Structure 1
Amino acid sequence: MVAWVNSWIEHAIWWHVYPLGFGRLTKITGWLDYEVELGANGLQLGPIFASESHGYDTVDHFRIDPRLGDDADFDALIAAARKKGVRVLLDGVFNHVGRGFQAPAHWFTGGDFEGHSSLRELDHTQPEVLDHVVRVMDHWLERGADGWRLDAAYAVDPAFWKAALDRVRPKHPDAWFVGEVIHGDYRAILRDSGLDALTQYELWKAIWSSLNDGNFFELAWALERHAELLPAGLPMTFLGNHDVTRIASKLDDPRHLGHAIAILCTVAGVPSIYYGDEQAFRGVKEEREGGDDEIRPAFPDSRDSLSPLGWPTYRLYETLIGLRRRNPGIAHSPTTATHLTNTAVALRTGSLTLLLNVGDDEYRFPDIAPGAQVLESSEPAGEPALVPAHGWSVLTW
């Protein structure tokens, strides 16, 4: 395990909010009880610093975006989170900045980030850029943040992150740093960057793809690679975030949403739940100007304004998060496919076995111990080895 990571992260479950869509910081404070009731104990915030539009075009890393509030609102959110035992993770956009970011010319490469003319790439070979990033990290950790999600970490030389963290960690040894990495050699990136964790996009893709295609071999393969990553650092696992189509829209068959949630809650890592996914929000990301709007909506002022159609999904999350809490070893335990076909799989993680069936007929799993007990399931508990068509169950024995 990474020496710097303290034990709190093993028990963390993030509720991921995109503030500029959700609403002001004071509004987020009002939803902390809802998050805690869900079973989450971490608030993962998207960008909150002054920016030109969507938050990822920062113009001042030391100022709260006026659309969200001010320093006093941030302090109040941190204080309220602390009171409820909720950790806070900030989004650090340090690969690129908005056009209005004021800095000497040599801070920039002269290029745009991934073809976006509104985003200027920082030159990470410049010592002043490193100093700036260290100052920003230190400032907000001292103000009460518990860690950083580092945006577009994949676009920055891992040596830069190591140099920054070598300076930040001594003052903040309890902080957690997770890098946004979409593909590549995850273990090598962790080793060279000094990051504690990476975003597990490979597993995310395998979850919805295997359910849609009826191909659990893809999921089993991804979970093998996931297991190999665990000794290097617990990855951030997720079904959705601010950059991708919501899982309820991504799945071809709505009956399989419970399958996806069960996988997230019973495999190793640090789960992150994107706000609204726990209410089965739908939304499709489109590659166009404003194409993220549908997946970054405002939340209502109170839970009473949420559709009653979403609460069964919330309760399912609540139930399966509770199951995870009662089996804390899941966070570190590799998952093994003990039985595997295209449309049925048994996934053993620690003392739990998740049975998934996406076939049109009920499926009898072999080699289920006589004393097996059904802990949770998509249908009322019946014979442990028998899973209904398009059903799932979690067993122990």
Structure 2
Amino acid sequence: MRWSDHAIWWHVYPLGFLGAEKSAVPEPRHRLPELAGRLDHLLELGCNGLALGPVFAAETHGYDTVDHFRVDPRLGTEDDLRDLIDRAAAKGVRVALDGVFNHVGRSFPRFADAARGGAAYADWFVRDGDDFRTFEGHRQLVALNHENPAVADYVAGVLDHWLDRGVDGWRLDAAYAVPLPFWRTVTDRARAKHPDVWFSGEVIRGDYTSYVTEGGLDTVTQYELWKAIWSSLNDVNPHELAWALGRHNDLLATFAPQTFVGNHDVTRIASRLTEPRHLPHALAVLFTVGGIPSVYYGDERAWRGVKEEREGGDDAVRPAWHDGGDEEIQRLHQLLIGIRRRHPWLVRATTEVHSLGNGVLSYTLAGPEGQGVAVALNFGDAPATAELPPRAWRAEAGDPNADLSTGKVALAPFAWTVATA
């Protein structure tokens, strides 16, 4: 197993987490040391990876980068970031950075030169009528020309610069918008010097597997499973989730997808679910199915927040850190992550469904030397029965009184069980 197979990430959006200004400031604010002080929380949760959102100099929200080699002054300095990386490494915590390489902010110096009519960097960007091509219609986000070898040289240089300074992995923003040969070029260059680097691509739609087999990435974000988890619970329709788990099994034949129920771009899971009693069900799925899971900061305490399609519409899901929230849900995260830690083979385990219908879903995952994990979920508000292969299952989470010895599990309304063998 590679180190990434053992990773469980705590995902932080630093500008929001640290209460930074909404737009660029001239002088460093040295906020990153506060984040370093939260590493013990990450470890107590059971995670061992810190996945950072944008930390590079940007105009506003961080995804409008203007200098990939400079830490955003709202967060601090390079020394602050390197100290965070060093302190994380000393505690056995891996660090991944957010690489925004599909587009840049309009203040990116090379674009500013091209916009003035300069020739030196004109071919770094693509003309689109009277302006330049942008990312999904966002004028402030100017798309790079990925057919230009100089752009690949630049991105490879950025990757190498920060890997040399102790970074372990990269989230590649908007990976779905970048040609696969470009990703293959820059990831191959990075691996030549840093063979243990881990690349996770943000892929919302499309052929997930091709980003690994053709693009050279290690994994992609499993949005299909994310949607199926909350949607099937809201609709009390386990068939949708079962279908998604079958698709997930297909992906696991090639790579371990990056799984989640929340991130900086989506409504928080506690707000997305219409029935609060379904939150443990969502977490049970996240921490038992194959893949590399992540926890978005605050989700471990059932923070709420709704994403809106407007300017500033992400603010509610990217708040400053505070100590409030549901401690019972945090303890549930710790319990489920503990089960996963004791069964590290789950990272590439496939699911076998046993009961499906009438608001019930049950499945098992088989490990080495006869090990196994069983999950039984009652989505509905009426008692139900789930089937599991008869064996000496031990209930470890959910209903503490569940009897799994007969192969039939009685589930109270909204009940769930995670068991091991």
Which category describes the TM-score, using the shorter chain as reference length?
over 0.9
Task: Return the offset for 1:329.
Answer: 1.1
Q: TM-score, normalised by structure 1?
A: 0.95
Aligned to 1:237: 259
- The CA distance in 1 between the partners of 2:218 and 2:90, in whole Å, is 26
- The letter of the residue matching 2:35 is I
Aligned to 1:21: 16
Task: Return the offset for 1:370.
Answer: 5.7
- The CA distance in 1 between the partners of 2:189 and 2:385, in whole Å, is 55
- The letter of the residue matching 2:272 is K
Task: Return the offset for 1:267.
Answer: 0.5
Task: Return the offset for 1:189.
Answer: 2.8
- The CA distance in 1 between the partners of 2:388 and 2:155, in whole Å, is 54
Aligned to 1:393: 417
Contact 1:256 1:358 in 2 (8 A): yes
Equivalent of 1:162, from 184, 187, 190?
Answer: 184
Task: Return the offset for 1:286.
Answer: 0.2
Aligned to 1:303: none
- The letter of the residue matching 1:388 is A
Per the alignment, in what secondary structure is the counterpart of residue 89 of structure 1?
Answer: strand
The 5 Å alignment of 1:5-154 reads 7-23=2-18, 24-103=31-110, 104-109=121-126, 110-154=132-176
Give CA-to-partner distance per residue, 1:337-365, whole Å, 9 cap, x none: 11111410101112011100011122122
Task: Return the offset for 1:367.
Answer: 4.7
Equivalent of 2:361, from 333, 345, 357?
Answer: 345
The 5 Å alignment of 1:343-382 reads 343-350=359-366, 351-369=372-390, 371-377=392-398, 379-382=399-402
Contact 2:362 2:388 in 1 (8 A): no
Greater Cα shift, 359-368 or 202-211: 359-368
Task: Return the offset for 1:167.
Answer: 1.2
Aligned to 1:3: none
Aligned to 2:24: none
The 5 Å alignment of 1:243-258 reads 243-258=265-280
Work out the percentage of aligned pairs sharing the same amino acid: 55
- The letter of the residue matching 2:54 is P
- Which structure is higher in RCO with an 8 Å CA cutoff and minimum separation 6? 1
Contact 1:217 1:342 in 2 (8 A): no
- The letter of the residue matching 1:96 is H
- The CA distance in 1 between the partners of 2:182 and 2:268, in whole Å, is 32
- The letter of the residue matching 2:231 is S
- The CA distance in 1 between the partners of 2:326 and 2:156, in whole Å, is 41
- The letter of the residue matching 1:292 is D
Aligned to 1:178: 200
- The CA distance in 2 between the partners of 1:12 and 1:220, in whole Å, is 25
- The CA distance in 2 between the partners of 1:288 and 1:323, in whole Å, is 40
Q: TM-score, normalised by structure 2?
A: 0.90
Task: Return the offset for 1:233.
Answer: 1.4
Choose 1 or 2 for highest CA Rg. 2
Give CA-to-partner distance per residue, 1:49-103, whole Å, 9 cap, x none: 0000000000000000000000110111011101110000000000000000011
- The CA distance in 1 between the partners of 2:270 and 2:388, in whole Å, is 33
- The letter of the residue matching 2:346 is I
Gaps of 5+ in 1: 1-5, 301-305
Equivalent of 1:220, from 217, 242, 246?
Answer: 242
Contact 1:49 1:63 in 2 (8 A): yes
Aligned to 1:336: 352
- The letter of the residue matching 1:153 is A
Q: Aligned pair count?
A: 385
**Does residue 287 of structure 2 align to residue 270 of structure 1?**
no
Give CA-to-partner distance per residue, 1:9-63, whole Å, 9 cap, x none: 1110000000000112111101000000000000000000000000000000000
